[in-house]
Amino acid sequence: MFLRRIAPAAILITMVAACGSQPAAQPENRAAVQPAAQGTPAPSGHAAISLTDPWVKGTESGMTAAFGTLVNNGDAEVTVVSASSPLSSDVELHEVVESGGKTVMRPKKEGFVIPAHGTHQLEPGGDHIMLMGVTKAVKPGDEIPFTLTFKDGGTLEFTAIGKEFAGGKENYQPGTDHGGSHGGGADGDHADGGAGQEHN
């Protein structure tokens, strides 16, 4: 009889001890989870960037340029500071400006700024991605890979489609009228891009 009474009491003590240990364990579990959640970085601004209608002007050799529309769906402006492509070891961000009564192309040192919930157009006669000394001819339909690098260190990869484009006398060849940068009549009409492509 005495042993039978002890056994249930021992079980009861064990259960109470186990229940009493749970609240102490829960904060430890929460403490283990919270740093992981806090350590997860918020999405960078460049994650909201896409590029629509990316295309490259067809060329046999020398220089060419890439165009499209940069779209920013984020809440903060994003700046593209550089670009690269296996098509050329010398890729620059360029703008077209008036200088000394002439229309000239030159590197855009501040990069391409895409406003929050806005767009930035890359087009003939305006901002564009310049490729010098291309390694092969660009034919209509060719797929040319690119990587954009943002001010915060993030990147965006995309593929631009080769396209024949005469435009308004754009000249993506070396000029001699402004110190070795590219010149020529880059006052051409804007052409619609080729096949569209978005990147998130």
DSSP letter string over 44-68?
PGGGGEEEEEEEEE-BSSS-EEEEE
| Residue 26: predicted pLDDT | 45
Q: What is the pLDDT of residue 3?
A: 45
Using the Cα atoms of residue 141, residue 113, residue 45 and residue 132 in order, give the sign of their dihedral.
positive
Question: Rounded to the nearest 5°, which phi and psi values hold at 13?
Answer: -65, -40
**How much is the pLDDT for 165?**
87
Q: What is the pLDDT of residue 64?
A: 95
Q: Which two tokens stand for residue 188?
A: 């051409």
Cβ atoms of residues 134 and 87 within 8 Å: yes
CATH of domain 45-163: 2.60.40.1890
Q: Tell me, what's the pLDDT at 186? A: 37
Kindly state the tokens that stand for 184: 């020529």
Q: What is the predicted pLDDT for the residue at 101?
A: 87
pLDDT of 138 reads 97
| pLDDT at residue 100 in the model | 87
| pLDDT value of position 166 | 75
The dihedral formed by the CA atoms of 189, 55, 197 and 146, expressed in degrees to the nearest 10: -140
- Which residues are within 8 A (CB) of 25 and not within 5 positions of it... i.e. 6 or more apart? none
Q: Name the region of 153 (left: φ>0; alpha: ψ -120 to 50; beta: rest).
A: left
Q: What is the pLDDT of residue 167?
A: 63
pTM value is: 0.65
**Residue ranges of the chain with per-residue pLDDT less than 50:** 1-3, 6-44, 168-170, 172-200
DSSP state of 132: E
pLDDT value, residue 111: 97
